[in-house]
Structure 1
Amino acid sequence: MLRIIPFEIRKLFEQPMIFLFFIASLFLNTMYIATAELDQSYLNYVQETEVKTGTLITSEFHEKLSNQYTSRNQQRLLIETAKLENVFQHYATEVLGQEMINYFQIQGSVAEKMKIKYEKLTSVVHELAEEQAALEMGTAGETMSIFTFIRNRLFRAILGESLIFALLLGLYGSTSERLTKTDVLVVTSKTGRKTQVGKYAASFILIFLFYVTMVMLTFGIFNHMYPIGTLWETSMSTQFHLNVYVPQSLEIPFIPWQPMTLLNYTILSIVLGGLLIIICHGFNFLIGLWTDHLFRGFIVFVIMYVVFLGLEQIINQMGWWNLHSLLMWHPISLWKVQGYWFTEMGPYATIPWQESIAMVINIFLLGIGGILTSKFYATKEVK
């Protein structure tokens, strides 16, 4: 079946919608970047200044900064770094856990699991305190805007586009023979049925190329328009960067399960996003095989998505926290909480690294689904 993969890839490339979708996605991302309104002049000033002052905010840093040429940017930097301290030095994760439980009114066994989770976070906080991560300057007051744009907006846009592409190509890859009315020829022989393996591989390769290319081009354009330089090496846990669960009400330090720089965090997010795309493509390919029609498969997916959202709303309103915690293992939930990946994730996780573990479990379930579908497809009747 490997020999048909190049032919299936060529067939997919012959579809003009693939190129149109890629161009439209790249154009939207470029416009998104162009309208980001990030303060590049201040970023440039901070990066030039840190060569003389260092990147850690200490008394020596303030002394060196005060002796620099007086300017508007210098005064702004002095004000923004005036009262910062190593917040992780005496940070109590148990108190944070109780704050989460009280704010979201978490009850029952989930509350107990949450307490254990935040107890495990203590060692990470101690490590961040030793590294003085909170004292890293980054871009001072502009750090939150840049970090949030990269992890919560720009990457989310790339991931969303890639998931849509994976959904559509997964369904199309498994139903294309029906669209061209050659499906009878395929299912009337054992060899013909096995061509679906090649179709799966071809659509998977194309999705992988789309995702990788979109990541490289989008971040390349971003770096060209907003060269952030050494900011990529700034800790995600600098005090200028917060994890926001409820604006103005619940904003806490950004605490990942392992100290990370912006570059580390972005790379790990890209890898985890790739796993989510594999899951989305795989399950929708299987849906296409079961429904035997692109439109019917799409309707099934939409119904499942709408039902999931409705179920989530009901569970949240009723305060059924045991069901809520189970829901957080679903691929749709994993996508929705993308902005919290690799952190303690507040009410959206009960164990460390839950999003990563959930991805592996979903890939395992995809494998089981593939085995069951292959048995179904091997005995499928011709209609």
Structure 2
Amino acid sequence: MLLRIIPFEIRKLFEQPMIHLFFIASLLLNTIYIVTAGLDQSYLKYIQETEVTTGYLITSEFREKLSAQSASKEQQRLLTETAGAGNVFQHYSTEALGQEMIDFFQIQGSFAEKLKRKYEKLTPVVHELAEEQASLEVGAAGETMNFFTFIRNRLFRVVLGESLIFALLLGLYGSTSERLTKTDVLVMSSKTGRKTQVSKYVASFILTFLFYVTMVMLTFGIFNYLHPIGILWQTSMSTQFHVNVYFPQLLEIPFIPWQSMTLLNYTILSIVLGGLLIILCHGFNFLVGLWTDHLFRGFIVFVVIYVVLLGMEQIANQLGWWNMHSLLMWHPISLWQIQGYWFTEMGPYATIPWQESIAMIINIFLLGIGGILTSKFYSAKEVK
């Protein structure tokens, strides 16, 4: 019976005008963002045409062949940007990197020891990158950082942010729609009626996930049409032209993921992990809607939790409470905030390898437990 209800619940949700308006507005915003990206497509095209004869690794042979090319502004720029390039990871010390991170953020106590152990585990990864000569890949040379940062840190972040807002609203609306239409007393007063919330959850989840998948496909499709980057998708994320940047002051270090990745691999993994975050956001807010029994009250609860967690994180950072800071980094909201560091060593935002992925799986498990507890509460809840 519940399976038969799901298509009707999906149709009810899909008939809401705000869903169409939000989708159109998001896609329009993303298109404008892509059009105004300011990426130097002509320089990338020149490099990719040049790589046919020079190769994609910056070696002495690369420089010789590049020097033999006909003189142009692009040639001189590429010669300048690749001059003195070497294998960054050949003699790179992860222990020194860990100490640099500890000094930069002024970390003390047991948290500093955890970071040291984490960076010791990074050593085999650096050795692998050195053997692959990942840092010598030319990519888009001086434009690599602009392209990579725009794709992973800006464009994907915008898509993920829109999808999280959609998941938040649809999760709350899905569990409170009967209250909004004042049919809750009729539907939810029976045991069978209350079970329809399972159908509502599935329906709103399907629509949320479809929004995310469609938005990813259309947005990246538009990007690839307006900015065809070709073989740049196959460039290593650890090329020396692409670095990881930590704030509030400026600390630039090599981009070191826990496994050698190309831009395409990294983007796909980010999309997958973003999908898990969508599941968390939708599921959590659906449960909040059931507990509060009101869309607006549920939204206020979410905002309060969001603000409290952000406030706790700021206090922990200001007072140097690094152990509390470490615990807060396992929360979905913190995982969303540090999206730009996913799959890397993550500086002070992680104490173990692949922490963001492990944290996401743990949070989904906790969401499942929350769903079981909520179902027990909801089955005995009095309808007012």
The 5-angstrom pairing of residues 1-383 of structure 1 reads: 1-246=2-247, 249-383=250-384
What SS class does the counterpart of residue 252 from structure 1 fall into?
strand
Aligned mates of 1:247, 1:107 — CA distance in 2: 18
Aligned mates of 1:118, 1:306 — CA distance in 2: 32
What SS class does the counterpart of residue 244 from structure 2 fall into?
strand
Unaligned 5+ residue runs, structure 1? Answer: none
Aligned mates of 1:78, 1:251 — CA distance in 2: 23
What SS class does the counterpart of residue 208 from structure 2 fall into?
helix
* Identity percentage of aligned residues: 84
Deviation at 1:297, TM superposition (A): 0.3
Q: Is the 8 A contact 1:29 1:218 kept in 2?
A: yes
Deviation at 1:248, TM superposition (A): 7.0
- Gap change, CA 1:248 and 1:51, over 3 Å in 2: farther
Aligned mates of 1:367, 1:313 — CA distance in 2: 29
Deviation at 1:246, TM superposition (A): 2.9
- Structure 1 outlier segments of 4+, above 2 Å: 246-249
Aligned mates of 2:135, 2:69 — CA distance in 1: 24
What SS class does the counterpart of residue 342 from structure 1 fall into?
coil
Deviation at 1:202, TM superposition (A): 0.2
Equivalent residue letter for 2:321: W
- Gap change, CA 1:247 and 1:311, over 3 Å in 2: closer
Normalised by the size of structure 2, how large is the TM-score? 0.99
Alignment: residue pair count: 383
- Gap change, CA 1:153 and 1:311, over 3 Å in 2: same
Aligned mates of 2:305, 2:234 — CA distance in 1: 41
Deviation at 1:310, TM superposition (A): 1.3
Equivalent residue letter for 2:225: H
Q: Is the 8 A contact 1:125 1:255 kept in 2?
A: yes
Deviation at 1:287, TM superposition (A): 0.1
Deviation at 1:66, TM superposition (A): 0.5
Equivalent residue letter for 1:377: Y
Q: Is the 8 A contact 1:163 1:277 kept in 2?
A: yes
Aligned mates of 2:114, 2:215 — CA distance in 1: 38
- Which stretch shows the higher mean deviation, 305-314 or 247-256? 247-256
Equivalent residue letter for 1:16: P
Aligned mates of 1:325, 1:382 — CA distance in 2: 41
- Which stretch shows the higher mean deviation, 128-137 or 98-107? 98-107
Report the aligned-residue RMSD. 0.7
Q: Is the 8 A contact 1:56 1:135 kept in 2?
A: yes
Equivalent residue letter for 1:227: P
What SS class does the counterpart of residue 228 from structure 2 fall into?
coil
Deviation at 1:306, TM superposition (A): 1.1
Equivalent residue letter for 1:353: W
Aligned mates of 1:379, 1:309 — CA distance in 2: 34
Q: Is the 8 A contact 1:158 1:215 kept in 2?
A: yes
Equivalent residue letter for 1:245: Y
Q: Is the 8 A contact 1:187 1:380 kept in 2?
A: no
Aligned mates of 2:172, 2:193 — CA distance in 1: 18
Aligned mates of 1:247, 1:304 — CA distance in 2: 25
Aligned mates of 1:356, 1:365 — CA distance in 2: 14
Deviations 1:180-233 (A, max 9, x none): 001011221111000000000000000111000000000000001100000000
Normalised by the size of structure 1, how large is the TM-score? 0.99
- Gap change, CA 1:243 and 1:292, over 3 Å in 2: same
What SS class does the counterpart of residue 251 from structure 1 fall into?
strand
What SS class does the counterpart of residue 244 from structure 1 fall into?
strand
Unaligned 5+ residue runs, structure 2? Answer: none
Aligned mates of 2:147, 2:354 — CA distance in 1: 24
Aligned mates of 2:56, 2:370 — CA distance in 1: 50
Deviation at 1:70, TM superposition (A): 0.7
Aligned mates of 2:100, 2:187 — CA distance in 1: 59
Q: Is the 8 A contact 1:94 1:115 kept in 2?
A: yes
Aligned mates of 1:86, 1:193 — CA distance in 2: 62
Deviation at 1:249, TM superposition (A): 3.1
Aligned mates of 1:380, 1:365 — CA distance in 2: 22
Equivalent residue letter for 1:297: G
